[in-house]
Structure 1
Amino acid sequence: MKRLNLRNIPSERLSQRVFYVLVGLCVVVFGLFYMVGYDIPYVFNPDITAPMFTGVVLDTMYVLFLLALACAIWSAIKGFSVSGKSNGTENNVPYRAISYAVFVGTAVILLLALLFGSSKEMVVNGSLFANKFLLKLSDMFIYTIGILLFLAFAAVVFGSTRYYRKR
């Protein structure tokens, strides 16, 4: 059997295969969630359903989140260690400064969103949820996603108007 050498596979092909595997995994997990045992009533409140594969969906999301976090940390460490060996510019683009700005900017957005997130108690599935840290943490992720999506959209609009700005 031929041994798989990841160093010889182009990064585009490798990332494409990883993407297809993750999409396939998510399709299978969510397919099981919605198609098998979805209408099972909740033991303590029969008005609410408790799908059979809820735990599998949650565990899959936890694993994917931890993998994404590990990849982000590994990528940041590797990127900073590689960029530390050169002058930080390539083709007159200050990539080291951009890298540091993105890293620090994302950390600042996360911190500000955590500080300004609401910890107001909520009623979830008929019961009161009052864990202040988890409420602030979920608000942090929601606000950060919104802010980063807006910034990405603004960057695309700014980049697409380059030809109009040069005239």
Structure 2
Amino acid sequence: MSFVLPSLTINARRIVHPTLLLRSSMSTGNLHVVSTPEAPAAIGPYSQAIKAGGFIFVSGCIPLVPSSMEVVKGGIKEQTAQALANLRAIVTASGSEIDRVAKTTVFLQSMNDFADMNEVYAGFFGSHKPARSAVEVARLPRDVLVEVECIVLAP
């Protein structure tokens, strides 16, 4: 029995589905932890990001101010801006850049906040438009309004 997972082509290079790469990297011990004081420390048993198989998997970023570990004051716009600033700090610490983000997932406490989140998100990414999913969830850590995770091409 055999099966084929989808792959994608970027800059004429074939890249295998990230799930296979992660499994492959785990089996050979090629996982590299990314950590930076420029983003909030993990508030659980996870890493800020992991480099594996040509990708960087950035854990969900919530709108904590790194220096205080407190939720940024304000509504969805301020929280989205802080979550994305934290994401940028981790991507930069990994040696990559925001324009190499391939996919984001945005978790919203309420889809009523989608338009305001989207306005801040669009300004953050500018002309770069990574693939994105946005989902409403029942609750987020620290009762924040938004959380953003991403998959980035490693340099």
TM-score of the superposed pair, with normalisation by structure 2: 0.28
Specify the structure having the higher radius of gyration (Cα): 1
Q: Does 1 or 2 have the higher relative contact order (CA < 8 Å, sep 6+)? A: 2
Q: TM-score, normalised by structure 1?
A: 0.27
Structure number with the higher helix fraction is: 1
